[in-house]
Chains A and B, each alone.
Chain A
Amino acid sequence: MKLLAKVALTAALMSGVAQAGVVVIANPTGPDSLSKAQVSKLYLGKSKKLPNGAKAEVIEQATGSFIRGEFHAGVTGKSDSQLQAYWSRLVFTGKGKPPKTIGSSALIKSQVASRANAIAYIDSSEVDDSVKVVFTP
């Protein structure tokens, strides 16, 4: 019984660590912090530049992934379908294209670590020294 309780506790803790919440990350040389409005504008293509004037390289997680849903619920307020409809309005008028999608948080992190103007979001449990947190929804 005790063992079962321990297992349950450990499992709860581990899942807690694995799902600690989404954070927006940037390169260590990038901006120190971004507001929710700035992040939302970057992810909706309404602004294309970082506060320092450099062209932002915005990275999305895979469509349908849990973390993507969590991020957009907290920042842009749009579901996957709404995002698709939103971007189709820009794509089919030649006015813009959606951010690049990378399907793995590890790859995203290595991209952000190696590109000065990259902006992405990952789970906070995956953050390390190679990137810095600029916004927490």
Chain B
Amino acid sequence: MRKAFIMLPLAAACASQFVMAAPTDSQRLAQLEQELAILKEASSYDSLSDRMSVNGFFTGQMGVANNDAGYGNRPGVEGYTSDPDFSQGSKLGLQGTFALTDQTQIVAQLVSRGADDWTPEMEWAFLSHEFDNGFTTRIGRLRVPLYMYSDYLEVGYAQPWANPPADVYSIVPVSSYDGIDIIYDTDLGDASLSLQASYGHDVDDAEDNPLGVDVEFNNTIGMSATLSYEEWVFRGTYFQSELKSGKVAIPSVPAQPFESFNNEKAQFGGVGISYDNGSFLAISEYTISQVEGKYSDTKSGYITLGYRIDAFTPYVNYSFLETTDNDERAPTAADDYPNLVGSSAFNWERTTYSVGSRYDINSNLALKLDVTYATDFGDTHGALPSHGTETYDDTIVYTVSFDAVF
């Protein structure tokens, strides 16, 4: 009796709920069907949202050094000093991709850098067409594919390091050019091969280089080949260009070792190899560059080893950079430019050691911490900016970087 007494209101409640629920169920069903139809429409492969996409990346970076040597990402250009800096490594990129057809698309990528007061610059702007036979051609503004990480040089999230090794990635001052390229992708058994031929030109603005003058890179032509096989990637590249500029004006160097570029030929060659099995990571590149005349010829290389432990990817990096034509700038009595300081501004030698870690906070945000130690400058300034008479034997740079993609 007591039980029934308790059950009664419960049953009544259930019944009333059932009565109430009956009409809403059919309404809800109708609503669900409508939502399903919308979802189906949205997921159909020719909807507007599928033809157009917007993506972005962001890096917020702080760097500080133990002295004012100014180690940075460009030879001779001011880098991190003992004042904490939030500008030079920070950037925001926005990219729009618009598919005209299944095989033709337009890609535009704007990058704003803290180093340029966040003025947006077009890094990619091209029309590409993919043919059925494995060929793709692109025309417009493109990246110069000199290095393994050139194509996504500024997408920090796509890289293991806080910054790509400067000894290698800073040698060539241009990262984009206006021109055309042809890419051929093919499968060789389980391996895939990608061949790329590029042609175009670019201007390196005076404010972005240590020469104090605009430098034109004309008739730039190059080839690169990338072979991917399971966990391995092998890459080789060759580029050449003709350099033209007005009179060189390095503020801190009174007598320049050379006056200007007059269609001197510049050549660049590089090889790279990488291995990534999901936990162990190894990347290495070796590059040489030669410029006719007295401008620095270089050789440089790096090797990075990393190991993923859950969300952490600690890494170590060793890299070096040195000029190979110091004798061409040796001051002699007969030399037109006998100034030792001027000559040695183009003699570079340094070794860099880095240790750091990437930490994946979530699947689109990573935090990176890095300590970089540059030393062994020999008789040179170590490709650091000249600060009057002050010279440094070494420098330590601490970097904290947040890298996101969205």
User: Residues on A close to B: CB < 8 A?
Assistant: 37, 46-47, 55, 57, 63-64, 77-85, 88-89, 91-95, 97, 100, 102, 107, 111
**Centre residue among A37, A46, A91, A107 by max chain B CB count within 10 A:** A91
| Closest residue on chain B to residue A97 by CB atoms | B53
Query: Which chain A residues border B107 with CB–CB below 8 Å?
Result: 94
Q: Please state if A92 and B363 are interface contacts (CB–CB under 8 Å).
A: no
Of A47, A64, A97, the residue contacting B97 (CB under 8 A) is A97
Q: Please state if B363 and A88 are interface contacts (CB–CB under 8 Å).
A: no
Q: Which of B114-122, B150-158, B167-175 contacts A (4 or more CB under 8 A)?
A: B150-158
Q: Please state if B158 and A85 are interface contacts (CB–CB under 8 Å).
A: yes
Contacts A89-B151, A92-B109, A100-B50 known; 14 new A-B pairs at CB < 8 A: A77-B277, A80-B363, A85-B157, A89-B158, A91-B55, A91-B97, A92-B55, A92-B95, A92-B158, A93-B152, A94-B107, A94-B124, A95-B151, A97-B53
Query: Which chain B residues border A55 with CB–CB below 8 Å?
Result: 102
Query: A89 to B228, alpha carbons, bound, how many Å?
Result: 15
Q: Please state if A88 and B97 are interface contacts (CB–CB under 8 Å).
A: no
Query: A64 to B152, alpha carbons, bound, how many Å?
Result: 25
Residue B270, interface by CB 8 Å? no
Q: Which of B110-163 contact A (CB under 8 A)?
A: 124, 126, 128, 138, 143, 151-152, 155, 157-158
Task: Take A92-B152, A111-B43 as given contacts and tell me if A81 and B311 are in contact as well, using a CB distance cutoff of 8 Å.
Answer: yes
Task: Take A92-B55, A94-B128, A102-B43 as given contacts and tell me if A63 and B93 are in contact as well, using a CB distance cutoff of 8 Å.
Answer: no
Query: A79 to B360, alpha carbons, bound, how many Å?
Result: 11
Of A37, A47, A84, A94, the residue contacting B363 (CB under 8 A) is A84
Query: Which chain B residues border A37 with CB–CB below 8 Å?
Result: 190
Residue B405, interface by CB 8 Å? yes
Q: Please state if B158 and A88 are interface contacts (CB–CB under 8 Å).
A: yes
Q: Please state if A88 and B311 are interface contacts (CB–CB under 8 Å).
A: no
Residue B105, interface by CB 8 Å? yes
Query: Which chain A residues border B363 with CB–CB below 8 Å?
Result: 63-64, 80-81, 83-84
| Residue contacts A-B, CB under 8 angstroms, 14 given | A55-B102, A57-B45, A77-B277, A79-B360, A81-B311, A81-B366, A85-B158, A88-B55, A88-B157, A92-B55, A92-B95, A93-B124, A93-B152, A102-B43
Query: Which chain B residues border A95 with CB–CB below 8 Å?
Result: 151
Query: A46 to B152, alpha carbons, bound, how many Å?
Result: 18
Report B76-110 CB contacts with A as 1/0, cut-off 8 Å: 00000000000000000101010000100101010
Query: A47 to B55, alpha carbons, bound, how many Å?
Result: 22
Query: Which chain B residues border A84 with CB–CB below 8 Å?
Result: 157, 363-364, 405
Of B39, B93, B138, the residue contacting A92 (CB under 8 A) is B93
Query: Which chain A residues border B155 with CB–CB below 8 Å?
Result: 88-89, 92
Query: A88 to B57, alpha carbons, bound, how many Å?
Result: 9
Report B25-48 CB contacts with A as 1/0, cut-off 8 Å: 000000000001001100101000
Task: Take A81-B363, A84-B363, A88-B57 as given contacts and tell me if A93 and B43 are in contact as well, using a CB distance cutoff of 8 Å.
Answer: no
| Closest residue on chain B to residue A102 by CB atoms | B43
Residue B9, interface by CB 8 Å? no
Query: A47 to B192, alpha carbons, bound, how many Å?
Result: 10
Q: Please state if A93 and B360 are interface contacts (CB–CB under 8 Å).
A: no
Query: A49 to B109, alpha carbons, bound, how many Å?
Result: 28
Query: A50 to B364, alpha carbons, bound, how many Å?
Result: 30
Residue B23, interface by CB 8 Å? no
Query: Which chain A residues border B277 with CB–CB below 8 Å?
Result: 77
Q: Please state if A94 and B57 are interface contacts (CB–CB under 8 Å).
A: no
Q: Please state if A82 and B278 are interface contacts (CB–CB under 8 Å).
A: yes
Query: A80 to B405, alpha carbons, bound, how many Å?
Result: 13
Query: Which chain B residues border A107 with CB–CB below 8 Å?
Result: 36, 39
Task: Take A37-B190, A57-B45, A64-B363 as given contacts and tell me if A78 and B158 are in contact as well, using a CB distance cutoff of 8 Å.
Answer: no
Query: Which chain B residues border A77 with CB–CB below 8 Å?
Result: 277-278
Q: Please state if B109 and A100 are interface contacts (CB–CB under 8 Å).
A: no
Query: Which chain A residues border B102 with CB–CB below 8 Å?
Result: 55
Q: Please state if A94 and B126 are interface contacts (CB–CB under 8 Å).
A: yes
